Each structure stands twice: as C-alpha cells, then as structure tokens.
Structure 1
Amino acid sequence: MDRRQGLSVRLKLTLSYAGFLVIVGAVLLAAVWVFLLRGRSSSLSFPDRSDFLRAFDPSSFGPVVFVPAGILVLAFLLVFGLVGGWILAGRMLTPLIRITDATCKVANGPLSYRIRLPGRRDEFRELADSFDTMLAQLEAHVTEQQRFAANASHELRTPLAVTQALLDVARNDPNHEIRELVERLRVVNTRAIDLTEALLLLSRANQRSFTREHVDLSLMAEEATETLLPLAEKRGVTIETSGDMSTTIGSQALLLQMTTNLLHNAIGHNLPEQGVVWVNTLAHPNTAVLTVENTGEKLTPQLVSTLTEPFQRGTERLHTGHAGVGLGLAIVKSITQAHDGTLTLTPRPAGGLRVTVQLPAASAHTQTAGDQN
C-alpha cells in the first residue's frame, strides 16, 4: 500500500509531551496570577466574576514583571518539553524500533532471526514474543514445504525414469515382448497416479477446503473394514472392530480416507502370518476417539516419531512389497489437523503400532441443528 510520508511517531510524541507541558504551565501561571497577584492576598478562595474581568484589564495588572516572567517560563517549558519529550519518546520506542528492524531483516534474509527482546513483560515485549513465535512457525512451515517438495519431486521422478527406461528398451529392441512391456508400464503408471492423487488429497486437507457435516467414526471404521477385508484375508490378517457411535463434525470423504489409510497401514505392515488389527471407537463428552492397533515387528520410538512425515517408510515397509507411496500416515496427520484433532502414534511393547485419533465431538446443540437441516 502506497502512503504519503507523514510525521514520525517519535516526533508526534515529542510534540504531544511539549504541548501538554506548555498547556499545564499556562494554566498554572494563570492560576497564580488570578489567586495571588490580583489583590486577594487575604484569601486564596475561588475568584468571583470581577476577578476574571480584571484579569483582562491591562490597567489592573499587579506586578509589572509577571507577564514577561510568565512568557519566559512558558518558553522554558516548551524547550524542556521538546528536549525531554524527544529523549523520552526515543526510549519508549526503542523496542518498537527493534521489532521494525527485525521485520526488515526477515523480509530480506533468513527466517531464523529472532528479536528476543529483554526486560519484563509489557505490551512491546508481548508483541516481540508473538513475532518470534510467528517466525518460528513460519520457518518450520517453510522448511517442511521445501522438504516435502524435494521428496515429492524425487518420488515422482522415479516412475517417470522407469517409464522412460522401458520405452527406450522397447525402441531399441523391436522384438521385445509387447505384452510384458505394457504390463510393466501399467504398474508404473498406476503408482504414479496413486502418488499424484495422494499429493492432491494431502493438499486439500492442508487447505481445509471442505464442507463440514456430522460424521460417525464407527460407520467410517465399518466401511473401511468392508473395503479392505479382501486385502486382510489375502495377507492372513484378522480385523476386529468394536466401540460405540462416536460423532464428530467434518468431511465424510476425508475422514473415511483417514480411516482407510490407518487400516491399510495396519494390514500392510503386520506379521507375515496370523496378524491382528483392532479398530475401536469411543465417545467422550468433548472428543470422538478412533484407535487402530496392529501386531507386527517391534518399532523404536525414534522410528515411530518419523512415520507421519511425508515419504517416510519404516524398514518393514521396504521389505514386504507394500511400501505404498509414503504418504499414508502423512495424509492421516493432515486430515486430523484439518479437523482440529490430535494424532498419537505409540509402539506396542509386543510389537506393532497403536494409532489414536482424537477429534472434537459434535455437541448436542450442533447435532440437533444438523438433524433439523
């Protein structure tokens, strides 16, 4: 926004201080003149109307030196107010100047700069602390986006490179089996499509561009179980579901995708034989809880803490043939955050993973309004 140059805040404060001192001095001098120099030496009571009329009569002045002395006092107060106000305004605005300098440095440099304004808590220091917090969040967000872009580029480059290699082989070897080539291209293309759709879903969840409605997490768990039951049977995994109706407010499509991802992750990264997946929903006064727990290899807390990062895969994922695109739990995390919920990953002592999603529960008033609509 283009603005015309105006007076600085420091100059405005200086003029305000000086003007205030001059006005106070003038009032004080007028009071001294009226009460002490108008012939009322016997009493300091409030002057009557005649005193105020004589105050504007030049022939009734008391001491002749009062007016010049008053002018000198006002002049001194003006100079004192300007100098003192300038110094005082500078000291008061020092924190604001540091904040402004920090803003300029961040705008033209790295986001790692922090103000760290010393001193006790006041309005300026609260502003500086809020600015530091904002910078920390912004730096973390930018770093995450840069890492995500680099990982996404790497993941997308892999199927494209494989496709290019297959096409080069087919061009250089006309006698190559076409059926085998087409099948391999289909597999690679399917993986690229899955990755692209996962990226789009992740972006949609981060933008929170969805319509909110009442969603029962227990129904989402049942639907996801029915969808992935063939995969579970193929893998020799048993799915056990339990729990009561647990209602929240959000996107039914995104919450179903979240539940499906959790269940798919639990099935694909389970024991080679006789694995089990437990799906449970709970309803608390303020939260709706979905828990997906599975058997599997023992996981370290360090590994578990990285599983929600985009394109992060555990060791088991890379050896089971079910590596996926590396965005399953990252999408779950984004959908949970988009619904103002919390996601907790805990390694099971006996092996496997326990994932808990806590979402704000739909209040009774909101449920009634939703039913009426």
Structure 2
Amino acid sequence: MDRAPGLSVRLKLTLSYAGFLMLAGILLIVTVGLYLSLQGELFNEAGAVQATPGTMFLKAFAPTAAATMAFLLVFGVLGGWILAGRMLAPLNRITDATRTAATGSLSHRIRLPGRKDEFRELADTFDAMLARLEAHVAEQRRFAANASHELRTPLAISKSLLDVARTDPHHDTGRLIDRLHTVNTRAIDLTEALLLVSRAEQRSFTRQRVDLSLMAEEATETLLPLAEKHGVTIETRGDITPTTGSQALLLQLTTNLVHNAIVHNLPEQGTVWITTEVRPGTVVLTVENTGDHLTPELVPTLTEPFQRGTERIHTDHAGVGLGLAIVKTITQAHDGTLTLTPRPTGGLRVTVELPAQNPRPDSI
C-alpha cells in the first residue's frame, strides 16, 4: 500500500514527551505564581506595607521561570528522543526481521532478550510464525520434488515401452498395451491424489453434517472384497459421531485408513478394528490393524508424502504413497488432530479427532 510520508514514531513520541513535560512545567509555574500573588494581596489587605511583595517577587521570578521552561524544553526533547529510541529498539529489530523474511529468508529469528512485555510477545509470536512457515515451505519443496519423481517414473516407463515397440515390430502388442494401461492407471491415480491434497489444503469445500460412523460403514462395504482377498477380518463398532465438513473428503479419509489397514496387515488372518466414539466437544474415529512391528521412530514419518511403512509396496494395492499424507491433510483442513501409535503386538493404531457438530444450524 502506497502511503504519504509522515513523521516517524520516534519523533512523535519525542514531541509527546517534551510537550507533556512543558505542560507540567507551565502548570507548576502558574500554580506558584498564583500562590505568590494571593499571598501578596492578603498581606496588603492587612495594611502591613504599601508595596506588593507578591508582585515584586513575580517580576523577579519571571526570568527564572523562563529559563526553567527553556531548560525543560531542551531536556524534554533530548530526553524524549533518547527514551523513545530505547523503547522502540525492539520494534526496529522486528521490522528488520520482517524485511529479511520478505526477501525469502525464513531462517532468521529475532530472539529478543529480556522479560516478557508487548514487544517481546510480538517477537516470540513472529519467530513462531517464521518457524512454521519455514517448516511448511520445506515440506512443500520435498513434496514437489517427490511428486515430480513419482510422476516422472511412469512417464519414463511409458516412453521406454513405446521405444521398444517402435524398434521391435514383432513385440507382443497385447502385453505392451497391458503394461501401458497399468503404468497410465498409476499415473492417473497419483495425479488425482495430488489434486485431492491440493483441494484439501485450500479448504475449498462446502461444510455439511457428516456422520463418521456412516463413513466407516461405507468404506468397509467398499473395501470388503479387498479384505477377503487378503484374508483380513474387519470389525466395526461405535456411536453416531456427527461432525461438520466435506462428506467426500471425510469418506476419502476413512477409505484411505481402512485401505491402509488392510494392505499393511498380516499375510493371513489379519484383523482391522474400526471404532467411532463421542468425546466432550469432539468425535473420534480410530482404525487399528494387526501387522508388522513398527518402531516409534518410523511411525511419525508415515504421514509424509510417498512414505510407506513396510516392504509390501510392490503389490497391486500398494497405492501411490499418499494415503496417510492425504488423511493428515484432510484432518488438518477440518481442524482436527491425527495421532499414529504403534501397537505393542504389531500393526498400527490411527486416531482422527474432529470437532463435534455445532448444535446451532446457523453456525454450520
């Protein structure tokens, strides 16, 4: 925003300090003068002397008063300038850090020393904001690099298959078409997943009443054939859990969790438990499964894009590496929290906690 030039805050504070000091001095001198004049008049009324001692004292006091006012003016300006500079020094550091951040450097921190006050609270808040921005930018850069790599792989495979078909006219065309279909399907799935992540991050969806228990039932019915193929049993239980958000996104969240629990499970006789419950102010969806033992160090990385927790990533249902990353993004877009915990006996427990539906319809 273009603004007209004006006085600096330091100069405004200096003039304010000096003006207040001058006003206090004037009031003090006027008060003293009035008091002396009143004393002189009372002395004359008593008939002690004919002259007016108060008036004579005021004439003698006037030069001293003028000199005092001049001193107060100079002292107020100089003292106010120094005092305003000391008071505004933290604000100057905050301004410098803001300019540095505006150039794209997010690693700079103010780290303002001293006891807590308004300026230091502002500096700490700004440092926290820079830390979040730096982490977000780094995450986006990693995401872009990983997405580019994941998209490049199917395109490179498609190019290689087409080059082989062009140089070898006797190549099996049916097999080539099947390979191209598989590769292109994976590229399409990855692209749709990336678009879903972008949509959730932008929160460009209409909020409506959603029951997480119904989402769990629908996801279970959809993925039941996959569970039977993998020999996995799905158990669902819980309460009606109303929240507000995008029905499509929350269904995608639930489907991703159930799909992940089925695929990354025991080779035989695995189990998936899906539970919904209501807590004070929130609703909770929990999906846990049997499976391989996961270390506490590995679990936090599972929500990063293109990270997979086990070696079973080459199956037909391995996905594109964005399952839990999409769950995390959708959860954050709905102002919820996502918690991943390794089960002591193997497998993973994933808990999604979302705000409960506001009982007031007009607030949705």
The equivalent position to 2:335 in structure 1, one of 326, 332, 340, is 340
Name the SS for the 2:338 alignment partner: strand
Q: Which residue of 1 aligns with 2:69?
A: 74
For 1:91-170, list aligned pairs within 5 A.
91-108=86-103, 110-170=105-165
Structure 2, gaps ≥5 residues long: 44-54
Q: Name the residue aligned to 2:283.
A: 288
1:352 aligned partner, one-letter code: G
1:215 aligns with 2:210: yes
- Report Cα offsets for 1:169-194 as digits up to 9, x if no partner: 11111222221111111111100000
> What amino acid is aligned across from residue 315 of structure 1 in structure 2?
T
Cα deviation, residue 313, structure 1:
1.0
Find the counterpart in structure 2 of residue 85 from structure 1: 80
Identical-pair percentage: 72
State the alpha-carbon separation in 1 of the partners of residues 238 and 103 from structure 2.
Answer: 54
Whether 2:196 is the aligned partner of 1:201: answer yes
- Contact map agreement 2:33 2:58 (CA 8 A) in 1: no
Cα separation, 1, equivalents of 2:21 and 2:63: 18
Name the residue aligned to 1:34. Answer: 34
Give the Cα separation in 2 of the matches to 1:324 and 1:63. 96
1:56-94 CA distance string (max 9 Å, x none): xxxx67543333222211111100111111111111111
**2:357 aligned residue:** 362
- Counterpart CA distance in 1 for 2:56 and 2:153 is 99
- Give the corresponding residue for 1:312: 307
What is the identity, as a one-letter code, of the residue corresponding to 1:185? Answer: L
8 A contact 1:333–1:343 mirrored in 2: yes
Does the residue aligned with 1:331 lie in a helix, a strand or coil?
Answer: helix
> Which string of whole-angstrom CA distances, capped at 9 and with x for unpartnered residues, describes residues 4-57 of structure 1?
2211111111111111111111121111111114553758xxxxxxxxxxxxxx
* Residue 55 of structure 1: aligned partner: none
**Which consecutive residues of structure 1, in runs of 5 or more, have no partner in the other structure?**
44-59
Does the Cα contact within 8 Å between 1:258 and 1:331 map onto a contact in 2?
yes
Structure 1 equivalent of residue 224 of structure 2: 229
Please list the CA deviations of residues 91-146 of structure 1 after superposition, one character each: whole Å capped at 9, or x if unmatched: 11111111111112222352111111111111111111111111111111111111
CA-based RMSD of the aligned residues comes to: 1.8
Check conservation: 2:36, 2:58, Cα contact below 8 A: no
| Residue aligned with 2:233, SS | strand
**What are the Cα deviations for residues 292-351 of structure 1, in whole angstroms up to 9, with x where unaligned?**
111111111111111001111123332545321000000011111111111111111111
Give the whole-Å Cα distance in 2 for the aligned partners of 1:349 and 1:21: 72
- Check if 1:350 corresponds to 2:345: yes
Distance (Å, rounded) in 1 between the aligned partners of 2:247 and 2:196:
14
CA distance in 2, matches of 1:168, 1:41: 117
2: distance between equivalents of 1:270 and 1:218? 23
Q: For residues 88 and 192 of structure 2, what CA distance do their matches in structure 1 show?
A: 52
Secondary structure, in 3 states, of the residue corresponding to 2:109? coil
Do the aligned partners of 1:269 and 1:316 also contact (CA within 8 Å) in 2? no
Q: What letter is aligned with 1:157?
A: R
Amino acid at match of 1:25: G
| Paired residues, number | 352
| Partner SS for 1:179 | helix
Amino acid paired to 2:262: I
1:257 corresponding residue in structure 2: 252
The one of 181, 185, 188 aligned to 1:190:
185
Corresponding position of 2:169 = 174
Q: CA deviation at 1:244?
A: 1.9
